[in-house]
Structure 1
Amino acid sequence: MLDSVLPNKHLTAEQQDVFNEILEFSRENLNRGSKGLFQLNGDAGTGKSVILTQLFLNIESSAKKDRTDNYFLVNHSELLKVYQDNAGSFAELRKNRFLRPTTFINRMNKEHKIADIVVIDEAHLLLSEADRYNNFEQHNQLEEIIKLARIVVIVYDERQVLKLKSYWSQRVIDNLVKKFKLQYKLATLRVQMRMQAPRSVIKWINDLTTNLQLDSIASKNSDYLSGFDSNYEFRIYNDAEKMYQQLRRDNDKYKKSRIVATADYPSTLDGKKHYVNEGKFHLPWDQYNYDRTTWAQKDTTINEIGSIYTVQGFDLNYVAVIVGPSIEYAGEGKIRINIDAYEDQEAFKKRHENDIDDTDTAKKLIILNSINVLMKRGIKGVYIYFHDANIYKYLEES
């Protein structure tokens, strides 16, 4: 099990206040017979899922007494495994209440039922257009779930939108609130709980992935640049193989340390191994995981490279991130994005809905979002390697 999503994990004061707010909102609107949407925002690692799991444990504990029919949804196969496994450790929870959104929508429509409370983790992964490959025939998963529930609670982070077919903005959510005349409330978590890092590290990552800005690094080593005097290990390597060997040592000592990469290297779900090559570094991409054990929890995956799809939502002790050819040095301490170098064609699969004003801008945002998510996986440290050597050279000289 992953401690970060256990339903009985201790809540901070900020998290407890938000938990109470959601619970009160849900109960009041259920009692009034009003349809409602509670939206919980927050950056990666602020503890949104912790609140959601405790909320669901609370409402399911009293479901028989209150006669409520409740569901927990997540559009992420690896995370769903964790939630279903965790449910087996709590008598109040039932595994069949943890579903993929499409399963829930199709089941409720077939049975002509309306749920009472539906909580949705990683709502930014919901489909925002039809996808027959995933058996979703309608146009927007959140809209369909709202139709099929009295109260919907969503965890949302616009910085974690990763595909055009699940492209979200606050404007889309606001329009749904108006369309269904929902009671609506918004709360935002601001305290970083995953990364035991100083604000300067978070700022460095945010400046890179929001402002395309390369902030200076404090100290230089023969193998890497490091900075921000603290116990948190923040390093930028000029050699991917040396970075990986350090990560292996960390994994031997602390466990749960993995190397990941941006989707700038070819990979196809054809049962064959596809490799990421950077100098002497040579390692295969993760394989499709058919096991109940998640990719991040399997000891053998220290010998693979994780993708955004296998590590999003998970905690690692140390994470090493390879930033591939789609990120280039633009001069004067800035980066630019080369959309054509991004290999994840699934992420850029053309939308049928004509509701994105600028597709190229949306694609660049997806690439930056993926980097932001990957760099914020590490509890104890993050190591970074840039394919474009000019980025390291600039940081070394700045």
Structure 2
Amino acid sequence: MRNQPTNAATAKISPDLPLTPEQGQLVQQILTFTTSHLNTAGPAVFTIYGDAGTGKSVVLSHLFNRLQVAARTQTTSPLAGTKNYFLVNHPEILKVYREIAGNHPHLLKKDFQRPTSLINQIAKGQVQPDVLVIDEAHLLLSQADHYNNFYGNNQLSSLLATAKVIIVVFDETQVLRMKSFWTEQHLAQLVAPFPHATYRLTHQFRMQASDDLVRWINDFTHRRIGPLPTDVGTGYDLRVFDDAEQMRQAVVQRNNEVGLSRIVATSGYPSTLDGGKHYVTEGKFSLPWDQYNYTSTPWAELPQTINEVGSIYTCQGFDLNYVGIILGPPVSLDTDDRLQINLDRYTDVEAFKKRDDLTDPTEITRIKQQLILNSINVLMKRGVKGLYLYAHDSRLRHYLHASTA
């Protein structure tokens, strides 16, 4: 039977979780930074860098709870009476934080917002924030996006013009769309005029995998493919499948045993935002893409989604116990055993929308290829206990399978 309280996404980033000494010191460092810049001219920025699974979100969860407890209960604190908000530009992750808020007396669901919503409230004079905490800042829009009602040039720039202190977490390897194209260099240039500090988290908390396997994933998503490591971590389950349906059956078994196990895939299969079902099909395997989730429960925690294929848009930022990944048609191996990214086979049209500030065709191609590789990085690092792989490309599938023999 599924153990929901243990597997719930809220349990993974709750402010009630114990912190490591490093994480606890980081929270205190950020609090000191925040209080020392509340009354200085101009905004101050604290940036936390770190790969997927390095504990960034749990640090922010603890930090924001501390901020709001001080703001709402500690009358002698420099934070007393401050108006603080937690922002994340990902609807599924926002659901998790709002659920956490419902279980903590000094966190309100309205404290947690999408960036565009808060920016528009500020523009109307409805709120004036003091401290902003931004999770997944690499998802902030870096150009106007009328579809999402953002008419500025850069969401972080808009927020810098209003808040006194901003704390962001950032990972450029999780940038997935041209409209939110960021690099560490771009971020550093943007905050350079303001008081700022940085910290880089490096320890992998999510995956119970060996450092060798994490390194292999990082290399793979930078087009440096090599044999899978022999040491994948004690108890970590790494498998390569020749048959996607067999992989699905293995994931279903894991889900029945421990819960939070799902099939996910890269782009490269029919996908249109028309309200209909579009299927990922590989031989006998055929399941629909994840459907838009209108509930307050994150996609991965809905029992029926064991019969769907997750995407970066439902899985980014979440822990799964076991993840089965279909590497779709855009990813292949050439005759010299080099990883090849086929842009013409990518079906996520939203990912590659044109930017006026990017005009060099060679650079645009490089960025598009890296966005695809970033999506693979996001998906490969979802599994806490295990990673199952199936590749559409027969040459890549054979290479991966042979390297585990």
Q: If the length of structure 1 is used for normalisation, what is the TM-score?
A: 0.94
Distance in 1 of aligned mates of 2:91 and 2:401: 40
Q: Please give the per-residue CA displacement for 1:334-366, whole angstroms capped at 9, x wherever unaligned.
A: 211111111100001111333777111110010
- The match for 1:196 among 176, 184, 208 is 208
Structure 1: stretches of 5+ with no match in the other structure? 219-226
Matched, 1:141 2:149: no
How much does 1:238 deviate? 1.1
1:369 maps to which residue?
A: 374
Asked if the contact 2:248/2:324 (under 8 Å) is kept, the reply is yes
1:378 maps to which residue?
A: 383
Distance in 2 of aligned mates of 1:106 and 1:60: 22
Distance in 2 of aligned mates of 1:229 and 1:81: 32
Aligned CA distance change for structure 1 residues 396 and 136 (closer, same or farther; 3 Å): closer
How much does 1:112 deviate? 6.6
How much does 1:32 deviate? 3.8
Distance in 2 of aligned mates of 1:171 and 1:271: 38
Which secondary structure does the structure 1 equivalent of 2:188 belong to? helix
How much does 1:50 deviate? 0.3
Q: Please give the per-residue CA displacement for 1:372-391, whole angstroms capped at 9, x wherever unaligned.
A: 00010001001010101111
Asked if the contact 2:223/2:339 (under 8 Å) is kept, the reply is no
Matched, 1:167 2:175: no
Asked if the contact 2:241/2:401 (under 8 Å) is kept, the reply is no
Which secondary structure does the structure 1 equivalent of 2:348 belong to? coil
2:227 maps to which residue?
A: 215
Aligned-partner residue type, residue 370 of structure 1: S
Distance in 1 of aligned mates of 2:226 and 2:330: 16
Distance in 2 of aligned mates of 1:214 and 1:338: 20
Distance in 1 of aligned mates of 2:320 and 2:91: 18
Which secondary structure does the structure 1 equivalent of 2:351 belong to? coil
How much does 1:217 deviate? 5.4
Aligned-partner residue type, residue 153 of structure 1: I
Which secondary structure does the structure 1 equivalent of 2:82 belong to? coil
Q: CA RMSD in A?
A: 1.6
Say which is worse superposed, 351-360 or 10-19, in terms of deviation. Answer: 351-360
Asked if the contact 1:263/1:324 (under 8 Å) is kept, the reply is yes
Distance in 2 of aligned mates of 1:211 and 1:187: 27
How much does 1:45 deviate? 0.5
Q: Please give the per-residue CA displacement for 1:216-244, whole angstroms capped at 9, x wherever unaligned.
A: 454xxxxxxxx636310011111111111
Structure 2: stretches of 5+ with no match in the other structure? 1-7
1:70-85 paired onto structure 2 within 5 Å: 70-85=84-99
1:354 maps to which residue?
A: 358
- The match for 2:136 among 104, 107, 122 is 122
Asked if the contact 2:209/2:232 (under 8 Å) is kept, the reply is no
Q: Please give the per-residue CA displacement for 1:70-127, whole angstroms capped at 9, x wherever unaligned.
A: 0000000111111111101111011111110001001011117531100000000000
- The match for 1:9 among 17, 34, 38 is 17
Asked if the contact 1:269/1:288 (under 8 Å) is kept, the reply is no
- The match for 1:48 among 32, 56, 76 is 56
Asked if the contact 2:212/2:229 (under 8 Å) is kept, the reply is no
- The match for 1:249 among 246, 253, 267 is 253
Say which is worse superposed, 100-109 or 25-34, in terms of deviation. Answer: 25-34
Which secondary structure does the structure 2 equivalent of 1:149 belong to? coil
- The match for 1:63 among 61, 71, 77 is 71
Distance in 2 of aligned mates of 1:170 and 1:203: 20
Aligned CA distance change for structure 1 residues 69 and 188 (closer, same or farther; 3 Å): same
Which secondary structure does the structure 2 equivalent of 1:258 belong to? strand
1:223 maps to which residue?
A: none
Deviant stretches of 4+, over 4 Å:
none
Aligned-partner residue type, residue 380 of structure 2: M
How much does 1:266 deviate? 1.2
Q: Please give the per-residue CA displacement for 1:148-207, whole angstroms capped at 9, x wherever unaligned.
A: 1000000100000000000001222122223xx211111011000000111121122111
Which secondary structure does the structure 2 equivalent of 1:89 belong to? coil
Asked if the contact 1:14/1:189 (under 8 Å) is kept, the reply is no
Asked if the contact 2:240/2:400 (under 8 Å) is kept, the reply is no
Aligned CA distance change for structure 1 residues 172 and 253 (closer, same or farther; 3 Å): same
Asked if the contact 1:215/1:333 (under 8 Å) is kept, the reply is no
Asked if the contact 1:244/1:320 (under 8 Å) is kept, the reply is yes
Aligned-partner residue type, residue 210 of structure 2: P
Number of equivalenced pairs: 388
1:265 maps to which residue?
A: 269
How much does 1:397 deviate? 4.2
Matched, 1:86 2:86: no
Which secondary structure does the structure 2 equivalent of 1:211 belong to? coil
Q: Please give the per-residue CA displacement for 1:311-341, whole angstroms capped at 9, x wherever unaligned.
A: 0001100000000011111234321111111
2:302 maps to which residue?
A: 298
How much does 1:212 deviate? 3.2
Asked if the contact 2:94/2:113 (under 8 Å) is kept, the reply is yes
- The match for 2:318 among 314, 318, 322 is 314
Identity of aligned residues (%): 47
Asked if the contact 2:333/2:396 (under 8 Å) is kept, the reply is yes
Asked if the contact 1:328/1:391 (under 8 Å) is kept, the reply is yes
